[in-house]
Every structure is written in C-alpha cells, then in structure tokens.
C-alpha cells in the first residue's frame, strides 16, 4: 500500500473525528446555555445532528473498507469522500450566517444521499473484492476463475437417441 493510499484510507476517520469534535463543542455550549456562540439555527442543527450522523457514516464506511486487502478506496469512493467533506465545510461556513437556513435545507438531504451512496458503493466494492480474492486462479493463464465456465464454453450435449 502506497503512502497516498494509506492517507486516503485514513481520510474518513479524520473527517469523522473533526465532525465529532465540532458536535461535542456544540453540545457543550448548548448544555451550558451559551447559544449566543452558535450563530444560527442552521449551526445548531448542523453541529448537533448532521455532523454526528456524518461521523457515524464515515466510521462505518472505514470499517467496511477495512475488510478489503489492501484497504484502498476506488476513484469513485474518493470522489464521494471529498464531496461529503466539501458539503460539510460549506454547511459549516454558511452556518455562520443566521439568514442562510435555506442552504442547510438544500445541503442536508444532499449530504445524507451522499453518505448512503458512499456506504452502498463501499459495501458493494468490498463484497466484490472479497469475492474475487476467493476465486481460484487458472495455473495456465493466471486469470481468476468464476463459479463455472462462461456460457459460450459450456459444451452442448445432444440427447442420445
């Protein structure tokens, strides 16, 4: 595994830890009654619910990818992780404006769809990679063999008369 792949594999937990840190800070402010430090309703909703949900999703995805050998992300998975991070940053920046609640209403569902899509993509990729690694290798060609020959190679036997 290259250093770049290793960095990508730890990108999800890093973003998850940052989201959880912001959520814990927000919960602490809310518990202390210091709502003036939370500049908008969007900030309260984003830091109390959206960021913890994103952190949970990223942590689950990291565990799913951890079942791969090597635990590397595909290009599409990397794009989804970056998209989720960008949406989370935009949500954080727009939460500073008390009039920007509409941005939250637009981006929260997009972030949820991205998280579900990433989980489905990473689960499917992990299942495919693990299934391929269990397939036997043809000693002559070095190709992995499936459960049986392709349809074109199945011999046709006519019934005996």
- Residues 61-87 have pLDDT tens digits of 999 999 988 888 999 999 999 999 999
- Given a cut of 90, whether residue 122 has pLDDT beyond it is yes
User: Residue 36: its pLDDT value, please?
Assistant: 86
Q: pLDDT of 13-39, one tens digit each? A: 999 999 999 999 999 999 999 888 888
Is residue 50 classed exposed, middle or buried when 0-12, 13-18 and 19+ CB atoms within 10 A define those classes?
buried
Query: In the numeric block, which tokens belong to residue 87?
Result: 């949406």
Dihedrals phi, psi of 137, to nearest 5 degrees: -105, 135
Instruction: State the pLDDT confidence band at 104, using cuts at 50, 70 and 90.
Output: confident
- How far apart (Å, rounded) are the C-alpha atoms in residues 87 and 101? 15
pTM over 0.75: yes
């Amino acid at each position: 595994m290259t250093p770049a792949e290793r960095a990508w594999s730890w990108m999800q937990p890093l973003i998850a830890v940052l989201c959880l840190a912001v959520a814990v800070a927000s919960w602490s402010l809310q518990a202390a009654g210091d709502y003036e430090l939370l500049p908008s309703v969007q900030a309260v909703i984003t830091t109390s619910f959206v960021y913890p949900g994103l952190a949970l999703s990223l942590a689950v995805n990291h565990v799913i990818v951890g079942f791969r050998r090597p635990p590397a992300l595909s290009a599409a998975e990397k794009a989804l992780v970056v998209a989720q991070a960008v949406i989370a940053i935009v949500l954080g920046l727009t939460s500073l404006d008390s009039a920007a609640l509409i941005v939250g209403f637009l981006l929260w569902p997009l972030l949820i769809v991205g998280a579900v899509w990433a989980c489905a993509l990473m689960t499917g990729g992990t299942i495919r990679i693990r299934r391929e690694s269990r397939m036997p290798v043809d000693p002559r060609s070095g190709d992995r063999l499936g459960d049986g020959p392709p349809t074109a190679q199945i011999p046709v036997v006519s019934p005996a008369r």
